Amino acid sequence: MDITANDYKKFLQCQKLFWLNKINQKKEKKEFSKQKQYFKKYVKDTFRQRNCFQIDTSDIKKACFMTAELINSDTEIIFDATFCFDGFYAMVDVFDIKNKIIYKIKPSSYPKQGYIETFRYSYYIISKFIDIEKCNFIHLNKKYTRAGELNRDEFLVISDVTKQVKYKNEVLSEKLSVMKQTLNSQKAPNVSIGKHCNEPYECEYKSICWEHIPKDSIFDITYTMGKHWELYEQGIYKIDEIPDDFNLSKKAKEQIELHKANSIKIDKENIQKFIKKLVFPINFLDFETFSSIMPRFDNQKPFEQIPFQYSLHILYEDGRLEHKEFLADENDDPREDVAKNLLQDITKEGSIVAFNKSFEISMIKKLARQTSYKDELLELVKRFEDIAHPFQSRYYYDPKFNGRYSLKVLLPVLFPENSELHYENLSLVKHGGDAAEIYGSLYMEDDEKFKQDVKEALLKYCHLDTLAMVMIYKKLKEVTV
């Protein structure tokens, strides 16, 4: 069975994950985001003045054959050079044949340890055929700020990681033989669940390996500082089974007590204090942001979050509710338009309420720095209140929250009957991450119908965020009566 660097990455996380993946013949995910593909192409273009060849990697065996042919030709640079040794396949983004340099391209600000590990694997395979002089990472400079044309020399960074990649290479051959033995076995390796199920990535086989973990388990307790693994080793799986004298944080203990008593905590005094701080008209505000690997606009850094949309529900003292929203044109720098429209829409007085206000405040401050509305925007900052606070501080706590307090956790518990308030009923955009990803690539789309659908989905998603805050505010008022 063919083994690739991606398999090696899985093996390093968990031997059983590696085995399950190969047995189930899971295909490697090839559908990189458009932004990542664009970044790789941009980097490869820096080599194009030399004699280059792009390998077609759709057939990995043919790709190896082609690479071998090209090495003995007058080609100087091979893109996606592919090698195979004893069933192990390795690919590098760029191979400089003459100078014996291999390059990996990653849209990150530094060569992360996980990347070094897979680079080691690739180097090990390639070094069976060629003496490699240098192993380089091409990544990006996070501090670079675009001004005019993208400046390749300032934006891209080449890090020489030869020493790290060649370090303890002999250990690799042992690992590769364990990988082969693992695959020859008919049975899954006997691996217990542990931290590795979530680190560095959440494993896709948790539904199998975690089957014995019951509902309302020790893993639903928050603020445990990793102590749930101590409980697990003692054979304690359910919250109800946790001994009262088990040493845990105050917050974790409170969660356990409320769970065992099946009791909802409502601290009326503190909830009332919070509500009294809010001044009408109350502006419930939520931003959506996107980031680009390659800065698209002046005064933008790689990965810098840029607000492109907001939803605003305004609740007046007489109970009237007004909704305003803005979604920027995906082809232009949205910052000036977002700032201008927000200042027109938001009331001149009254509180501004956000869920986890530090994010919305940081976006307002960014807009103040980067647009022509500095003073007006900074004035807004002092009017902010945080509607997550009563839940974060556990003034209101329902055991069904499982120690968490995000909008997606609160809504189905507080409003189980109201399907309008459930994110899973949305289409295309169900998370802030979806919104960022989909909007960030929208300017590259040609399909007008798809673009229209995405825009509608973005508006619905953001609308739900602020409507949810209004409903939560009303709920908090109701429980204190």
Binding site residues, ligand SF4, CB under 6 A? 14, 16-17, 20, 191, 193, 196-197, 203, 205-206, 209
Question: 452 CB contacts (<8 Å, ≥6 apart)?
Answer: none
CA-to-CA dists, residue 406 to 15, 234, 355, 356, 410, angstroms? 34, 31, 8, 9, 6
Least distance in angstroms from the C-beta of 9 to ligand SF4: 12
Least distance in angstroms from the C-beta of 3 to ligand SF4: 17
205 or 223: whose CB is closer to ligand SF4? 205
Q: What is the helix (H) or strand (E) element at residue 104, kind and residue range?
A: strand 101-105
For tokens 């030869």, the residue is 162
Judge whether 137 and 161 are in contact, CB under 8 Å: yes
Helix (H/G/I), strand (E/B), else coil: 130: coil
Least distance in angstroms from the C-beta of 406 to ligand SF4: 24
Q: What is the helix (H) or strand (E) element at residue 13, kind and residue range?
A: helix 5-13
Rounded Cα distance between 266 and 469, Å, is: 18
The amino acid occupying position 32 is F
Q: What angle do helix axes 5-13 and 170-184 make, rounded to 10 degrees?
A: 90
Least distance in angstroms from the C-beta of 319 to ligand SF4: 50
197 or 285: whose CB is closer to ligand SF4? 197
13 or 162: whose CB is closer to ligand SF4? 13
153 or 202: whose CB is closer to ligand SF4? 202
196 or 251: whose CB is closer to ligand SF4? 196
73 or 198: whose CB is closer to ligand SF4? 198
Q: What is the helix (H) or strand (E) element at residue 357, kind and residue range?
A: helix 357-370
Cis geometry, peptide bond prior to residue 302 (ω within 30 degrees of 0): no
Helix (H/G/I), strand (E/B), else coil: 327: strand
Q: Reduce the secondary structure of 297-309 to three states and give it as a string.
A: CCCCCCCCCEEEE
Least distance in angstroms from the C-beta of 208 to ligand SF4: 7
Least distance in angstroms from the C-beta of 195 to ligand SF4: 9
Least distance in angstroms from the C-beta of 18 to ligand SF4: 8
189 or 432: whose CB is closer to ligand SF4? 189
